[in-house]
Each structure stands twice: as C-alpha cells, then as structure tokens.
Amino acid sequence: MAIRNIVTKEDEILRKKCRPVEKFDERLWELLDDMAETMYQNDGVGLAAPQVGILRRVVVIDTGEGLIELVNPVITASSGNQEEYEGCLSCPGEFGIVKRPKKVTVKAQDRHGKTFTRDGEDLLARAFCHEIDHLEGILFLELADKIVEEKE
Ligand code: NI
C-alpha cells in the first residue's frame, strides 16, 4: 500500500467525468488499498479516485462505521433533506453548507465486481453524495451557498 498525492481544486482533472471500472483486477485492488490509506492518513471521511489523479468510478468512505469501497456507484433512491457543513480533502481550509438528502441508497460493485446496495443516513448519506459527485466532476464548492475558512 502507498499513500498517494491528493490533487487540489485547481487541477482540471477534478472537473472531468470518470469512466466506469471494467476490470476487477489487482490494479483496482491496489488503487482501493492506496485510496483507503490516503484517506485515513489525511483524516478524511471519503475519497474519490479523481482526487488521486485516476479518472475511474471508484470511491472509499469511512464515517466511523468501517471502510466502504464503492466501484461504479449510483444513487438509486434518496429522501429527506439535511444542511450541514461540508469539506473536501481537495479543498483544504474551505467549508460550506450544502443541502443533501437525509437518506440515500447506493448501488455499487465491490472489489470483485459483485453488486450490492447500501443505505446511508446523515453523514454517510452526505459522504455518498459528495464522493459520487466527484465522479461527475462536481466539487462541493459549486453547491455551497457560501464558502468559509472555518466552520461557524
Ligand atoms: Ni471531496
């Protein structure tokens, strides 16, 4: 495993749409392992592949309930609303309030290509939305009403 460099918001790669993963091979597993290690090293709750320079639909999340690996994730259902501060490892020192669904259901594949679904509420729902946005080239900065340097 290795810690990878996290690209910051100035990098055009963060604005690009990611391609689906087609091969569930050792290269994918290495990417997933490295992304988890990089996320933990930086005290993040989520990381998307474009943040380490890879334009593939791969996400890791840990909101304190254990590591979740998502390959080719899609949100299949959402309900309710929440408004909370959000940040991003690619936008250090910037926070903004973003409206997100309170609950979401995600359908994804695991590292072996097996399809599963996972429900998330509150912070986990937010993390699902934020990371899947990254795969579409969307940063939370575009969704927040106001960006601040510290959470109020
Ligand atoms: Ni982010």
**Domain-by-domain residue ranges, the chain?**
12-148
Element (H or E) spanning 31, and its range?
A: helix 26-41
Residues with CB under 5 A from ligand 1 (ion): 88
Q: What percent of the chain has pLDDT above 70?
A: 99
Share the mean pLDDT of the chain.
96
Q: How close is the Cα of 152 to the center of ligand 1, in Å?
A: 20
Q: How close is the Cα of 24 to the center of ligand 1, in Å?
A: 24
- For domain 12-148, is the CATH number 3.10.20.740? no
Q: How far apart are CA 40 and CA 46, in angstroms?
A: 9
CA neighbor of 99 nearest in space, from 88, 78, 84 = 84
Out of 12, 26, 131, 142, pick the active-site residue.
Answer: 131
Q: How far apart are CA 122 and CA 81, in angstroms?
A: 9
Q: How close is the Cα of 130 to the center of ligand 1, in Å?
A: 6
Tokens matching residue 114: 């097996």
DSSP 131: H
On whether the pTM is more than 0.85, the answer is yes
What is the helix, strand, coil percentage profile of the chain, to 5? 25, 30, 40
For residue 1, what pLDDT band results from cuts at 50, 70 and 90?
Answer: confident
> Is 80 exceeded by the pLDDT of residue 152?
no
Q: How close is the Cα of 13 to the center of ligand 1, in Å?
A: 13
Q: How close is the Cα of 112 to the center of ligand 1, in Å?
A: 25
pLDDT digits (tens, 9 = 90+) for 31-48: 999 999 999 999 999 999
| Residues facing residue 6 across a β-bridge | none
Q: How close is the Cα of 132 to the center of ligand 1, in Å?
A: 9
| Cα–Cα distances in angstroms (integers) from residue 47 to residues 81, 96, 140, in the given order | 23, 18, 13
CA neighbor of 60 nearest in space, from 95, 94, 34 = 34
Question: Is 131 labeled as catalytic in the residue annotation?
Answer: yes
